[in-house]
Structure 1
Amino acid sequence: MTEAPDDAKHNGPSEPAGRETPGKAPIRDLLVSAAFELFTEYGYDGTTIDDIVHRAGVGRRSFFRYFPTKEEVVFPDHERALAEMIGFLEEGAQDPDPVGRACAAARLVMRMYAEKAEFSVKRYALTRKVPALKTHETSVVRRYERALASYLRRRFATLQDGDLRACTIAASVVAAHNYGLRAWLSSGAGGDASIVVDQALDLVHRTWGDKAETMIMVARTDTPAWQIIQQLDTLREGGTGYRFA
């Protein structure tokens, strides 16, 4: 890969870094669009940052103002999505259903993909071909997982197995979300992304969430165990039962 761009890849003049032109797409969007045009034409490894800025018609400094590396231009919305997820989780500090909150947070990421379905499909195809992008994507996914685990760890702080539970549920949420999302992307973004993602996340919620009703029964300490069990069975079956005194 050469840093010296060839003329075939350059079809626009450079302009001072950071200058927005009225009526023109934002520089950030221009860079992303130019990058994917070039990736399609010349491949990811065959495209340099110089190629991208020339195609976008902006200065080189503009690229690094928005993207620290070439990999980042492939994942332009993840920083925003991660920030939204963290904010959503922080707002749910008192949510009585922390697992449900974590699943809902994952759906925010799914919506980011669904809002730009065509772009998401192109990125999915690209990451499957380029090992460096797959590695970068894995690091991005880990950041989402850490954010979920951090939230759940705080919610389960009083439990003896709180840390284990938080990490396990966070990993389950991410795995379920990714399973559904990849199924949608591999179909070419056909249909509603939320359907398959919701199915996967609902499984996690049913497995780890606490949806059962709370039942409180008071009994004397000398009440026979068989009688307590019998009464519990009656209550579960909808009987009126009685209160042990």
Structure 2
Amino acid sequence: MNTGAIAGEQDAARFRMQVVAESIRLFAEQGYEATTVDAVAAAAGVSRRTLFRQFRSKEDFIFADHEQLLVRVAARLEESESAGEDPWWSVCLAAEEVFAHFAAHRDLASRRYRVVSQVPALRDRELVTTYRYQRLFEEFLRHRVPDTPRVRQVAYAAAVTGAHNHLLRQMVRGDESATIDVLRVELRRIHATTSPSRARQVPSATAVTVVAHDVSLTADQIADVVRERLTWHPVP
């Protein structure tokens, strides 16, 4: 990628973050319904027309960084495929990247949480946005590990997304213990217990049954005693 393209992407990212910050500020001060598109455009230093070239509605303003982040996550997953990385762990690393973004903008994420929690339309939009990350993980696994049952792919993506979302909510609510290090520990646990590549390494459970019998019994008679002890119905 050339320098000009990188600079263009950085400018676009800064613009989106500016729109997020200003829209959150105005929604918090004036209320979501009372805040006009013109007010957000003026606060962001652009025209109404420019704003609508980038976003379709007011709801888009407050989640503008998610669009850029989804593109980054998709690119990260593609890179992991080219590098031949473990697809199951690649999903975990992608979730970490999402968390790292919001941790780097923690104050902004906390203000957004407070605004979104007060507006039903924004809460609905947040749920849809959250699911888009999970869907992205599901489709990546479907492509990378096509022989794995679909239900396992969905369950894995849901587990990773669920752990991420829980800790993210804790973080924006002010929980200092909700960190990316804690997330990494949980993701490793999910990877170790859920991904098929690791699950195959876990030995099957072994059951031990103890049966007392007379030492004078023959092997066939001992077998009959064992069958009787392990069977609920009468042994013929």
TM score, norm. by length of structure 2: 0.71
Alpha-carbon offset, residue 212 of structure 1: 6.7
- Kindly indicate whether residue 60 of structure 2 is the aligned counterpart of residue 72 of structure 1: yes
Tell me the residue number matched to 1:166.
Answer: 153
Contact 2:20 2:65 in 1 (8 A): no
Alpha-carbon offset, residue 66 of structure 1: 2.5
**Matching residue's letter, 1:194:** I
Contact 1:176 1:204 in 2 (8 A): no
Among 104, 115, 130, the residue aligned to 2:93? 104
Q: Render the CA deviation track for 1:200-233: whole Å, top value 9, x for unaligned.
A: 3233212213347869xxxxxxxxxxxxxxxxxx
CA gap of 1:40–1:152, structure 2 versus 1, over 3 A, is same
- Kindly indicate whether residue 129 of structure 2 is the aligned counterpart of residue 140 of structure 1: yes
**Matching residue's letter, 1:177:** H
Q: Distance in 2 between matches of 1:57 and 1:44?
A: 19
Alpha-carbon offset, residue 147 of structure 1: 1.0
Tell me the residue number matched to 2:145.
Answer: 156
Alpha-carbon offset, residue 192 of structure 1: 6.3
Tell me the residue number matched to 1:204.
Answer: 190
Among 160, 180, 205, the residue aligned to 1:194? 180
Tell me the residue number matched to 1:131.
Answer: 120
Alpha-carbon offset, residue 118 of structure 1: 0.8
Provide the aligned C-alpha RMSD in A.
2.4
TM score, norm. by length of structure 1: 0.68
Alpha-carbon offset, residue 194 of structure 1: 0.4
Among 163, 168, 172, the residue aligned to 1:176? 163
Q: Distance in 2 between matches of 1:148 and 1:31?
A: 27
Q: Render the CA deviation track for 1:104-160: whole Å, top value 9, x for unaligned.
A: 11111111101111101111111111111111111111111111001111232123x
Question: Which structure carries more helix by proportion?
Answer: 2
Alpha-carbon offset, residue 97 of structure 1: 2.8
Tell me the residue number matched to 1:31.
Answer: 19
Among 185, 193, 196, the residue aligned to 2:172? 185
Tell me the residue number matched to 1:63.
Answer: 51
Contact 2:73 2:97 in 1 (8 A): yes
Contact 1:173 1:204 in 2 (8 A): yes
Q: Distance in 2 between matches of 1:28 and 1:90?
A: 24
Alpha-carbon offset, residue 27 of structure 1: 5.2
Give the share of equivalent positions with the same residue, in percent.
33
CA gap of 1:77–1:154, structure 2 versus 1, over 3 A, is same
Alpha-carbon offset, residue 32 of structure 1: 3.2
SS in 2 for 1:58: coil
Contact 1:169 1:208 in 2 (8 A): yes
Pairs aligned (count): 187
Listed as ranges, the gaps of 5+ residues in structure 1 are 1-25, 216-245
Q: Distance in 2 between matches of 1:96 and 1:55?
A: 43
CA gap of 1:172–1:127, structure 2 versus 1, over 3 A, is same
- Kindly indicate whether residue 75 of structure 2 is the aligned counterpart of residue 83 of structure 1: no
Listed as ranges, the gaps of 5+ residues in structure 2 are 1-13, 203-236
Contact 2:19 2:44 in 1 (8 A): yes
Q: Distance in 2 between matches of 1:128 and 1:193?
A: 22
CA gap of 1:212–1:37, structure 2 versus 1, over 3 A, is closer
